[in-house]
Amino acid sequence: MKFSANLGFLWTDRPLPDAIRAAHAAGFDAVECHWPYDVPAAEVKAALDQTGLRMLGLNTRRGDVAGGENGVAALPGREEDARAFIDEALAYAVQIGAGCIHVMGGFARGDAALAAYVSNLRYACDAAAPQGITILIEPLNRHDAPGYVLRTTDQAAEIIEAVGAANLKIMFDCYHVGRTEGDVTTRLRALLPMVGHIQFASVPDRGTPDHGELDYAYVFAAIRDLGWEAPLGAEYKSAKPTDETLAWLAPIRERFA
């Protein structure tokens, strides 16, 4: 079983290229990130080449974070911004060899928001397809992101059907699904053909996967039995330095070797 370090949460005390090197030193098989745009792509690519790790994916910008935005792709009237963010993410992903882009929808409700989201996702999928890049959408739980446009995996499946693009997939975060819907492995099994990436953290505190409501030994076994071979994204939070939070990794690797 392979694991990816999400550098939006892990090793955030150091520059992104150094975080990539730290993930390699810790034994991760890949990395992923949130918003790398303040770091020149050439520096990220150099760290990836040095370590042999692949950057699995990144997010589009959130917009006016100070003003409370968390993505703009589902905000009616913000199409120009949404597509500029998509173009920026695509250019960066191509430069560093990332395989996925998570297009963030934002806080919105209603038919107009859904129409804007679908239209912008079609734009993203059309732009990404020639590069072999997958576009991801992620349901976010109502506790951490109240009012976010995409809340459940059923909604995500409906949007994928509406967009009608082969390179649009679900970012299936076991943490978010666990907090909103539960029944994580059943949902994953049902949606597997639509899943482009899997992430995890403990429920409900979003910590390391060795405690909480979800039994990750069971979850990881189910993922293995489904034939999933891509790295699973460790996207957890901790008050400790990342190197002090990795006691879960070796036992899981040994169990699923």
User: pLDDT of 18-67, one tens digit each?
Assistant: 999 999 999 999 999 999 999 999 999 999 999 999 999 999 999 999 99
- Sheet containing 195-200: order of strands: 30-32, 3-6, 232-234, 195-200, 168-173, 134-137, 100-102, 57-59
Q: Could you count the other beta carbons within 10 Å of the beta carbon of residue 203? A: 22
What whole-number distance in Å separates Cα of residue 146 and Cα of residue 148? Answer: 6
Two structure tokens written together for 25 = 């030193």
Catalytic residue among 158, 161, 235, 254: 235
For 129-183, the pLDDT digits (tens) are 999 999 999 999 999 999 999 999 999 999 999 999 999 999 999 999 999 999 9
Catalytic residue among 79, 138, 158, 213: 138
* Residue 137 vs residues 51, 106, 155, 249: alpha-carbon distances, Å: 28, 11, 10, 27
pLDDT at residue 54 in the model? 98
DSSP 210: T
Q: Is 235 a catalytic residue?
A: yes
pLDDT at residue 130 in the model? 98
pLDDT at residue 135 in the model? 99
pLDDT at residue 256 in the model? 86
Q: What is the mean pLDDT of residues 184-198?
A: 98
Q: Does the domain spanning 3-255 belong to CATH 3.20.20.70?
A: no
Two structure tokens written together for 244 = 């002090």
Q: DSSP of 74-138, one letter per residue?
A: TSTT-HHHHHHHHHHHHHHHHHHT--EEE--B-B--SHHHHHHHHHHHHHHHHHHGGGTPEEEE-
What whole-number distance in Å separates Cα of residue 57 and Cα of residue 7? Answer: 11
Q: Is 138 a catalytic residue?
A: yes
Residue pair 194/169 in contact (Cβ under 8 Å)? The answer is: yes
